[in-house]
Amino acid sequence: MTSTHMFPEDVARLKSVASSHGYDITDEQAVAVWTEYSDQFFASWLYLPPADEQLWQIIRSYLTQQ
């Protein structure tokens, strides 16, 4: 089972925050962003930060690496 199905609310929020900054990302890209971020802390899936701006900074960092 993928994180898309395990954490649908998180995936939707990742996509929404990216969209609010002009980036349309797929479910798979949202999962990749958060999986890569979580991996840095040796976690499978971390809780998303409560503030959208903090979440955007993490997403942006990932997108600029691509």
pLDDT in tens, 3-62: 678 999 999 999 999 999 999 999 999 999 999 999 999 999 999 999 999 999 999 999
Structural tokens at position 54 = 């903090």
- What confidence score (pLDDT) does residue 3 get? 67
**Structural domain boundaries enclosing 21:** 3-65
Which segments of 1-66 are extended strands (E)?
none
- What confidence score (pLDDT) does residue 36 get? 95
- What confidence score (pLDDT) does residue 43 get? 93
In the chain, how many domains are there?
Answer: 1
Structural tokens at position 5 = 């199905």
Q: Is the pLDDT of residue 1 over 60?
A: no
